[in-house]
Protein backbone atom coordinates (compact mmCIF):
# COMPACT_ATOMS: atom_id res chain seq x y z
CA UNK A 1 0.00 0.00 0.00
CA UNK A 2 1.31 3.45 -0.84
CA UNK A 3 2.12 6.01 1.84
CA UNK A 4 -0.51 8.67 2.21
CA UNK A 5 -2.44 10.85 4.60
CA UNK A 6 -5.52 9.66 6.43
CA UNK A 7 -7.87 12.50 7.34
CA UNK A 8 -10.71 11.71 9.69
CA UNK A 9 -12.64 13.44 12.45
CA UNK A 10 -13.24 10.42 14.69
CA UNK A 11 -11.79 6.92 14.92
CA UNK A 12 -13.87 4.26 16.68
CA UNK A 13 -13.95 0.48 16.77
CA UNK A 14 -16.43 -1.25 14.50
CA UNK A 15 -18.33 -2.51 17.55
CA UNK A 16 -18.31 0.84 19.38
CA UNK A 17 -16.21 -0.50 22.28
CA UNK A 18 -12.86 -2.17 22.80
CA UNK A 19 -9.26 -1.18 22.05
CA UNK A 20 -7.93 0.85 19.14
CA UNK A 21 -4.28 0.08 18.31
CA UNK A 22 -2.07 2.60 16.53
CA UNK A 23 1.05 1.13 14.93
CA UNK A 24 2.65 -2.28 15.15
CA UNK A 25 5.65 -3.71 16.98
CA UNK A 26 8.81 -1.92 15.80
CA UNK A 27 6.95 1.18 14.57
CA UNK A 28 6.92 4.65 16.07
CA UNK A 29 3.74 6.72 16.21
CA UNK A 30 4.81 10.36 15.76
CA UNK A 31 2.53 12.96 17.32
CA UNK A 32 5.08 15.77 17.40
CA UNK A 33 3.00 18.07 15.19
CA UNK A 34 -0.20 17.84 17.15
CA UNK A 35 -1.48 17.83 20.70
CA UNK A 36 -2.94 15.05 22.81
CA UNK A 37 -5.85 15.54 25.18
CA UNK A 38 -5.69 13.22 28.19
CA UNK A 39 -8.63 12.29 30.37
CA UNK A 40 -8.35 13.12 34.08
CA UNK A 41 -7.21 9.62 35.07
CA UNK A 42 -4.10 10.05 32.88
CA UNK A 43 -2.82 13.28 34.46
CA UNK A 44 -0.58 13.87 37.50
CA UNK A 45 -3.33 15.93 39.10
CA UNK A 46 -4.25 17.26 41.52
CA UNK A 47 -0.91 19.03 41.73
CA UNK A 48 0.20 21.93 43.90
CA UNK A 49 3.31 24.08 44.37
CA UNK A 50 3.46 26.89 46.95
CA UNK A 51 6.37 28.92 48.28
CA UNK A 52 7.47 31.77 50.53
CA UNK A 53 8.97 34.99 49.25
CA UNK A 54 9.94 36.38 52.67
CA UNK A 55 11.27 35.15 56.02
CA UNK A 56 9.03 33.50 58.63
CA UNK A 57 9.90 33.95 62.33
CA UNK A 58 10.17 30.80 64.45
CA UNK A 59 10.11 29.92 68.14
CA UNK A 60 13.17 27.99 69.27
CA UNK A 61 12.82 24.18 69.52
CA UNK A 62 9.08 24.25 68.71
CA UNK A 63 7.11 22.56 65.93
CA UNK A 64 5.87 25.40 63.72
CA UNK A 65 3.62 25.28 60.68
CA UNK A 66 5.18 26.83 57.61
CA UNK A 67 2.85 29.36 56.00
CA UNK A 68 2.95 30.26 52.32
CA UNK A 69 2.44 33.49 50.41
CA UNK A 70 2.41 32.43 46.78
CA UNK A 71 0.87 29.68 44.66
CA UNK A 72 2.92 28.62 41.69
CA UNK A 73 0.47 25.85 40.79
CA UNK A 74 -2.83 24.55 42.14
CA UNK A 75 -4.63 22.52 39.47
CA UNK A 76 -7.72 21.71 41.54
CA UNK A 77 -7.81 24.76 43.82
CA UNK A 78 -7.16 22.37 46.71
CA UNK A 79 -4.41 24.28 48.55
CA UNK A 80 -5.74 26.79 51.09
CA UNK A 81 -3.09 29.50 51.09
CA UNK A 82 -5.15 32.01 53.07
CA UNK A 83 -6.29 30.31 56.27
CA UNK A 84 -4.99 26.79 56.86
CA UNK A 85 -1.95 26.69 54.54
CA UNK A 86 -2.60 23.07 53.59
CA UNK A 87 -3.47 20.82 50.68
CA UNK A 88 -6.69 18.80 50.99
CA UNK A 89 -7.29 15.82 48.68
CA UNK A 90 -10.42 16.63 46.65
CA UNK A 91 -13.41 14.32 46.35
CA UNK A 92 -12.77 11.64 43.75
CA UNK A 93 -8.97 12.23 43.79
CA UNK A 94 -7.76 9.52 46.19
CA UNK A 95 -4.53 7.71 45.27
CA UNK A 96 -0.80 7.72 45.85
CA UNK A 97 0.71 11.19 46.20
CA UNK A 98 4.34 12.27 45.86
CA UNK A 99 5.03 15.15 48.27
CA UNK A 100 8.14 17.32 48.78
CA UNK A 101 8.92 19.97 51.40
CA UNK A 102 12.05 22.15 51.48
CA UNK A 103 13.17 24.98 53.76
CA UNK A 104 16.20 27.02 54.73
CA UNK A 105 16.73 27.87 58.42
CA UNK A 106 18.70 30.93 59.54
CA UNK A 107 20.29 31.88 62.86
CA UNK A 108 21.38 35.49 63.40
CA UNK A 109 23.89 34.29 66.04
CA UNK A 110 25.54 31.64 63.83
CA UNK A 111 24.39 28.99 66.32
CA UNK A 112 22.05 26.54 64.55
CA UNK A 113 21.82 23.19 66.32
CA UNK A 114 18.94 21.13 64.86
CA UNK A 115 16.84 21.65 61.72
CA UNK A 116 13.83 19.58 60.63
CA UNK A 117 11.63 19.70 57.53
CA UNK A 118 8.40 17.83 58.25
CA UNK A 119 5.32 16.75 56.32
CA UNK A 120 2.17 16.36 58.41
CA UNK A 121 -0.90 14.38 57.42
CA UNK A 122 -4.23 15.07 59.12
CA UNK A 123 -2.50 16.92 61.97
CA UNK A 124 0.24 14.36 62.75
CA UNK A 125 3.84 14.06 61.60
CA UNK A 126 4.03 11.71 58.62
CA UNK A 127 7.74 12.05 57.79
CA UNK A 128 10.65 14.34 58.59
CA UNK A 129 14.29 14.95 57.74
CA UNK A 130 16.50 15.81 60.66
CA UNK A 131 19.84 17.64 60.63
CA UNK A 132 21.68 17.54 63.93
CA UNK A 133 24.41 20.19 63.87
CA UNK A 134 26.80 20.10 66.80
CA UNK A 135 29.63 22.58 66.46
CA UNK A 136 31.66 24.23 69.19
CA UNK A 137 32.65 27.30 67.20
CA UNK A 138 29.17 28.87 66.80
CA UNK A 139 29.69 29.12 63.07
CA UNK A 140 26.57 27.62 61.52
CA UNK A 141 24.24 30.31 60.15
CA UNK A 142 22.19 28.62 57.37
CA UNK A 143 20.94 25.06 56.90
CA UNK A 144 18.66 23.66 54.21
CA UNK A 145 16.40 20.66 54.83
CA UNK A 146 14.42 18.63 52.31
CA UNK A 147 11.98 15.76 52.85
CA UNK A 148 10.00 13.67 50.35
CA UNK A 149 7.44 10.90 50.65
CA UNK A 150 4.93 8.83 48.73
CA UNK A 151 1.67 8.36 50.62
CA UNK A 152 -1.75 6.71 50.11
CA UNK A 153 -4.34 9.46 50.37
CA UNK A 154 -8.11 9.40 50.65
CA UNK A 155 -10.46 12.24 49.80
CA UNK A 156 -10.46 14.73 52.69
CA UNK A 157 -6.93 13.89 53.89
CA UNK A 158 -4.81 17.03 54.27
CA UNK A 159 -1.08 17.72 54.18
CA UNK A 160 0.86 20.53 55.83
CA UNK A 161 4.51 21.51 56.13
CA UNK A 162 6.08 21.99 59.55
CA UNK A 163 9.55 22.72 60.86
CA UNK A 164 11.43 22.50 64.13
CA UNK A 165 14.63 24.50 64.51
CA UNK A 166 16.86 24.68 67.59
CA UNK A 167 19.50 27.34 68.18
CA UNK A 168 22.02 27.74 70.97
CA UNK A 169 21.39 31.48 71.16
CA UNK A 170 19.90 34.37 69.22
CA UNK A 171 16.87 34.57 66.98
CA UNK A 172 15.96 32.24 64.15
CA UNK A 173 13.74 32.16 61.10
CA UNK A 174 13.01 30.45 57.85
CA UNK A 175 14.93 32.58 55.44
CA UNK A 176 14.61 33.13 51.71
CA UNK A 177 17.95 34.18 50.29
CA UNK A 178 17.53 37.13 47.95
CA UNK A 179 19.18 35.11 45.19
CA UNK A 180 16.87 32.11 45.67
CA UNK A 181 13.47 33.51 46.69
CA UNK A 182 11.71 30.13 46.26
CA UNK A 183 13.99 28.16 48.60
CA UNK A 184 11.08 27.46 50.98
CA UNK A 185 8.48 25.43 49.12
CA UNK A 186 5.89 22.66 49.39
CA UNK A 187 4.67 20.63 46.42
CA UNK A 188 2.87 17.43 45.58
CA UNK A 189 0.91 15.58 42.94
CA UNK A 190 -1.13 12.42 42.46
CA UNK A 191 0.86 9.72 40.69
CA UNK A 192 -0.45 8.14 37.49
CA UNK A 193 -0.86 4.37 37.53
CA UNK A 194 0.36 3.86 41.09
Instruction: Compute CA distances 102 → 66, 159, 175, 178, whole Å.
Output: 10, 14, 12, 16
Picking from 131, 140, 129, the residue whose alpha carbon sits closest to that of residue 169 is: 140
Which has more pLDDT, 187 or 24? 187
Q: How far apart are CA 167 and CA 185, in angstroms?
A: 22
- Confidence band, pLDDT 50/70/90 cuts, at residue 164: confident
Highest mean pLDDT among 16-25, 64-73, 166-175: 64-73
Q: How many CB atoms lie within 10 A of CB 138?
A: 15
Q: How far apart are CA 50 and CA 69, in angstroms?
A: 8
**Residues 6 or more apart whose Cβ sits within 8 Å of residue 64:** 56, 58, 162, 163, 164
- Over the stretch 48-101, which tens digit does the pLDDT of each residue have? 999 988 888 888 878 999 999 999 999 999 999 999 999 999 999 999 999 999
Q: How far is CA 81 from the centre of its chain?
A: 14
Question: Residue 189: is its pLDDT beyond 80?
Answer: yes
What whole-number percentage of the chain has pLDDT above 90? 41
Amino acid sequence: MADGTLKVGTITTSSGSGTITLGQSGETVDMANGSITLNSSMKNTPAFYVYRTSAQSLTDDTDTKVTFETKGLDTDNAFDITTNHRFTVPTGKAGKYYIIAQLTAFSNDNDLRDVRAQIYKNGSRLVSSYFNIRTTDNNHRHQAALVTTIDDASAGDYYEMYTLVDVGSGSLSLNTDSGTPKSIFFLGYRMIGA
